[in-house]
Structure 1
Amino acid sequence: MDCPTKLYYTRKPEYENQQVGDTFLEALAQGGFQVEELARLHFPQGIAILGEDYNYEALAARTHKLLQQEEVVIFEAAFLHDGYFIRTDILVKKGKQIQLIEVKAKSVSSRGHNGFSVTGGWSAYLYDVAFQQYVIAQAHPDFQITPYLYLADKDAVATVDGLHQHFQLVSDTDLRTGVQVTPGLQITDLGASILAKIPVAEELQQIFTTNPSFEGMTFAETLAFFKKHYAEDIKLHTPIGKHCKGCEFYTEKPTATHRSGFHECWQEQLQLRVGEINKPKVYDVWNFRASKKLMEAGTFFMHQLTDADLKVKPEAGKISSTERKALQVEKTLAQDPEPYFEREGLRDAFAQFSWPLNCIDFETTAVAIPFVKGMHPYEQLVFQFSHHIIDEDGSVTHHTEYINTRIGAFPNFEFVRALKTALETNTGSIFRYHNHENTILNVIYNQLKTSDEPDREALMQFIQEISHSTRTAVDNWTGARDMIDLYKLVTDYYYDLQLGGSNSIKAVLPAVLNSSAYLRVKYSQPLERINVSSLNFAPQHRFIQEDEAGTVVSPYKNLPPLFDHWDAEQLDAAVTNIEGISDGGAALTAYGKLQFEAVTPEERREIENGLLRYCELDTLAMVMILEYFREVIKPLNR
């Protein structure tokens, strides 16, 4: 469903899958295997078929033997029929009645659920179950199969503490899930269920009858088509397009032994050389919603874009969204390294700020199985912040930080008390980067509203003072000291070739450091010499380091990894599909690990110290961006 051409590349050593990573850390971040183990507890009589991962005949034979019983529950039931092989998460057999249960760590609102769209965001999951049902029905036509998705229920609430901690991930286990369940744990120990069992028979029937994702073929024909091409090693030529972005079979410099499936697709379909294929693509343009249709129509590269494609609409005093796209294309094609500023607009924005300037950043997590009693699946938990202050004279103070990684703690209210104390030391403007901090404060506001905290009114009033309400808030407000979004300052007034199509703080920081002579000189020196304080870096620390070409290396890359061989960027990439998470993968993964008692005190201290450095760098990056902007709007820079 993603790209049928990948059937040809998969499991061939010469085509290395770039997305294969550390399964333990990915599981730690995403929680899918923990949900599967929780689901299994609802079926205490279940029998798991383990081992022999690729001995399909043996696995299917073991399943067939168990199915001779009148009633049986099987985990990882295996079915092999006519070249198709599937394993089910949970299979419940009573006579000829079969419940086919697919467990996912995604969430659903059980109260408001009225079916899934087979062409929307759930289509891949539904087709997965449809394939399983098809194979079982072919192997056992006498079975009456009822399919379900077993999902985290956003309407449910954990009624016991420590629910998440009962499902500890371990990296050295033979278990497929890698989850160590507390010995002797019973479903009765876990309180009310936080899972919802949703029937999907109607959705699967629609797939079987209309097959909307593969028009022109029946569902059975689609499976036979893919099976033939995979078994006979025949490449399917999926039309190239926006889906090629992020291809896991991309190798930057292909060789005979390290081939690039991405380049081969583009070469075969467009008859281009590797150098031509490497030119900037249409899908690299920031926030370019027209890219999919343009690529379908044959416009693949930035140099092919026309003014009509970009539809530029200027806005006075700022860089409009369409102008930003055009700027990126123009500078990319010309390889123009000169940063672009709307100086007057930026100067007007700075004139509205109140000194001193406060920069804050939060670290949060949202997991399917809650850490503490009273929380919903995927309800946000906030465990850390960093707070820098820039005085008008240019001095920079890492004023405050907070972290709470205690096992089983609910830190949200203690967190906001610490934030209140920190930000009430002055009346200056407060900066965040993008929407996350405002969203989290709305979450805490709603939590306080139904709490019995003695100071809840004062804390809610503080949240209203420094934020604005979102559509999920129970009240409406816009604070007199509403946080200023530094991301908006970046997108409205500044563009640099080095940003490419990203405006994340991890992209903006190295761009400004490489463009600003002022910052390069300042942060090449030890902190103790430049009037910058730190709570986690030594006074002798220098944030500017250059590579052999004289390019500033991102300070994020110079931080010690929280886990061996995994830096923040890799961990962020590993969690891009988690509900409610778009960044901060390193922090939420580290927090998840710290909730397990098996972590040694030494490792706990090391991870916590790493978290403190990461979060401090986030707010120091905001400081550096503001310093850069302040420098470029000085009158002498006009």
Structure 2
Amino acid sequence: MIQTHSSNRRFGLSKSKITAFEQCPKKLWLSVHRPEVAEQDDGAEARFATGNTVGEIACALHPGGVMVDPPSLSEALAKTSSLIMGGHPGPIFEATFEHDGVLVRVDVLERLESGGWTAAEVKSSGKVKDYHRGDLATQIWVMREAGVELKRAAIRHIDTSFVLSREGDYAGLFTDADLLGELYDTISARPEVVAEARSVLSGDEPRKEMGDHCNAPFICEFAAYCSRDLPQGPEWPVTLLPYGGGKRWLERGVDDLLDLAEADLNDRHARILAATRDGIPFHDAEGARKAMSGWGWPRAWLDFETVAPAIPRWLGTRPFQQVPFQFSLHLERRGGRMTHHEFLSCDGSDPRRACAEALVANIPTGATIIAYNAAFERSVLRALATSFPDLAPRLETMAEATVDLLPVARNHWYHRDQRGSWSIKAVLPTIAPELDYGALEVKDGGDAQAAWFEAADPVCDPLRREALEEALKTYCARDTWAMVAVARSLAGS
């Protein structure tokens, strides 16, 4: 086996840096020369933790494997070489190779009985993504140049059809997509890509206009830095028109919504233009009352909070399955009497059964259930019905009885401060600003998931867990009361 080395050590590269370069040369340059101007990525820690957990499980499925984890690069290279040349029979984890100043660490490297090796890059996604191909191509190129005879090279991703049937048994969690044969051209181009990346790093900050590449395959942490000197666009850009409605106007050279005429737009876009131009909200109270007139009593205003871990935590669950750990329920009787009910489980145990039982106990038979973007609540109810056949009739009836407040708001209300969005958090400040989420510790669904993962961790301090539980209850209750406030305002009451 040969370990090749580059005489150019000034700018070492890795597969992640090459991925950054292929997204945007300026992103790579800034990550090396100006890392301090990057915006904080609030979700990075959670993604890193998930990746670590997925990697640990992938390794645990090969009990004879050896981890390459010396403290220095030179020792990691030497240990990898020693394991390969010494005939180590089992898998090698984090096998380390370098060629032309490009360092790669291979998640799982396995020796084949017939000779040669198979490499797997473990990903915590449910499918192969485009940038995974570039990552794997970089690894293959470096390994081949280092003298490794590769027979297979795969993206090892999560099989979303896997169901956890025995505690801690994750055999079958992963599936391999062998991409070696289809990456020939990408691998062949790696020397040129590496040379271009190194050239960028050796020069001044590149000039690169912002565009779609700023968000794909990752939202760039340098977007604020890159946009700091851009001329300010119009206060009301055409991109406020929803469902991509502004794109065709941008293609015609029109970027200001106020330059359009209502006659040029469909009804919804025309309403947005009129409300934006005049500052007078569009409000069809009669239409809203008519849309809600068929909703029966009592009315159960319902909102779920869920987690969808990549690694199933509970028996009978799949990867990325939405599991409800909380709901808030404002139960309204005819005449306006309102009671609040809630469910929350933060102890880390499977919350589904207790959640389903609480729904059955607190939502009266025959109630109309009201949600905002109700497809989600229906899907949660139906998944619970599938999991608990004894409760299925009630839960299925609830799903069928669930109606959606979102289209009522979308069709009968628009305030220009919504800026093209009808999310509950965009609509609520235009109707009931006193119910602002800004002062809450948990402000959105992402915060709620993060709070649950922290609270459910066995090492969480009991006082901290109690504080997180109160913050979650306050947030979820705000969501259902927000629906009540929006509906009443839409109806003009």
Please confirm whether the aligned pair reaches a TM-score higher than 0.5, indicating the same fold: yes
Aligned pairs for 1:59-138 within 5 A = 59-71=76-88, 73-93=91-111, 97-108=116-127, 122-138=129-145
TM-score (norm 2): 0.83
SS of residue matched to 1:492:
helix
Distance 1:619 1:98 in 2: 56
Q: Which ranges of 4 or more aligned residues in structure 1 deviate by more than 6 Å?
A: none
Say whether the 8 Å CA contact 2:385–2:393 is kept in structure 1. Answer: no
Say whether the 8 Å CA contact 2:412–2:490 is kept in structure 1. Answer: no
The answer on 1:623 being equivalent to 2:484 is: yes
| Cα distance change on mapping 1:101 and 1:394 into 2, 3 Å | same
* Residue of structure 1 aligned with 2:436, choices 546, 549, 555: 555
Deviations along 1:326-354, one digit per CA (max 9) or x if unpaired, are 4445555x4x5432123332121132233
Distance 2:258 2:183 in 1: 42
SS of residue matched to 2:314:
coil
The answer on 1:403 being equivalent to 2:349 is: no
**What is residue 405 of structure 2 aligned with on the other side?**
486
Query: 1:420 corresponds to which letter in structure 2?
Result: V
Query: 1:151 corresponds to which letter in structure 2?
Result: H
Distance 1:84 1:14 in 2: 20
Aligned pairs for 1:44-55 within 5 A = 44-50=63-69
The answer on 1:151 being equivalent to 2:151 is: no
The answer on 1:249 being equivalent to 2:227 is: no
SS of residue matched to 2:474:
helix
How far is the alpha carbon of 1:101 from its aligned partner?
A: 1.0
How far is the alpha carbon of 1:41 from its aligned partner?
A: 0.7
**What is residue 372 of structure 1 aligned with on the other side?**
314
The answer on 1:288 being equivalent to 2:288 is: no
How far is the alpha carbon of 1:67 from its aligned partner?
A: 3.6
Deviations along 1:352-382, one digit per CA (max 9) or x if unpaired, are 2334432001111221221222222222322
Percent of matched pairs sharing the same residue: 25
| Cα distance change on mapping 1:446 and 1:221 into 2, 3 Å | same
Distance 1:155 1:341 in 2: 46
How far is the alpha carbon of 1:299 from its aligned partner?
A: 4.1
Aligned pairs for 1:546-625 within 5 A = 555-559=436-440, 561=441, 567-569=442-444, 584-625=445-486
Distance 1:305 1:227 in 2: 45
Query: 1:16 corresponds to which letter in structure 2?
Result: V
Say whether the 8 Å CA contact 2:140–2:187 is kept in structure 1. Answer: no
The answer on 1:42 being equivalent to 2:48 is: no
* Residue of structure 1 aligned with 2:184, choices 193, 201, 205: 205
Deviations along 1:98-148, one digit per CA (max 9) or x if unpaired, are 22211111125xxxxxxx6xxxxx2111221112112222232x5224211
* Residue of structure 1 aligned with 2:369, choices 430, 435, 447: 430
Say whether the 8 Å CA contact 2:234–2:255 is kept in structure 1. Answer: no
Distance 2:93 2:275 in 1: 55
**What is residue 18 of structure 2 aligned with on the other side?**
none
The answer on 1:389 being equivalent to 2:362 is: no
SS of residue matched to 1:5:
helix
How far is the alpha carbon of 1:68 from its aligned partner?
A: 3.0
**What is residue 6 of structure 2 aligned with on the other side?**
none
**What is residue 396 of structure 2 aligned with on the other side?**
464
How far is the alpha carbon of 1:616 from its aligned partner?
A: 1.1
Query: 2:422 corresponds to which letter in structure 1?
Result: N
Say whether the 8 Å CA contact 1:360–1:432 is kept in structure 2. Answer: yes
Query: 1:380 corresponds to which letter in structure 2?
Result: Q
Distance 2:192 2:66 in 1: 34
Deviations along 1:274-320, one digit per CA (max 9) or x if unpaired, are 3x3475555454321663x765x474733497569x96333xxxxxx
How far is the alpha carbon of 1:431 from its aligned partner?
A: 0.6
Which deviates more from structure 2 when the two are superposed, residues 142-151 or residues 488-497? 142-151
Distance 1:65 1:300 in 2: 63
* Residue of structure 1 aligned with 2:352, choices 412, 419, 424: 412
| Cα distance change on mapping 1:376 and 1:486 into 2, 3 Å | same
Name the Cα RMSD after superposition: 3.2
Distance 1:300 1:84 in 2: 45
**What is residue 111 of structure 1 aligned with on the other side?**
none
Query: 2:180 corresponds to which letter in structure 1?
Result: A
**What is residue 292 of structure 2 aligned with on the other side?**
350
Say whether the 8 Å CA contact 2:94–2:107 is kept in structure 1. Answer: yes
Which deviates more from structure 2 when the two are superposed, residues 69-78 or residues 495-504? 69-78
How far is the alpha carbon of 1:428 from its aligned partner?
A: 4.5
Query: 1:301 corresponds to which letter in structure 2?
Result: D
How far is the alpha carbon of 1:465 from its aligned partner?
A: 2.1
Distance 1:38 1:204 in 2: 27
Q: Kindly tell me the number of residue pairs found equivalent between the two proteins.
A: 466
Query: 2:30 corresponds to which letter in structure 1?
Result: Y
**What is residue 257 of structure 1 aligned with on the other side?**
none
How far is the alpha carbon of 1:243 from its aligned partner?
A: 4.3
Distance 1:383 1:442 in 2: 15
* Residue of structure 1 aligned with 2:201, choices 224, 230, 233: 230
Query: 1:123 corresponds to which letter in structure 2?
Result: D
Say whether the 8 Å CA contact 2:370–2:404 is kept in structure 1. Answer: yes
- Structure 2: runs of 5 or more not aligned: 1-21
**What is residue 256 of structure 2 aligned with on the other side?**
302
Distance 2:371 2:136 in 1: 42
Say whether the 8 Å CA contact 2:283–2:490 is kept in structure 1. Answer: no
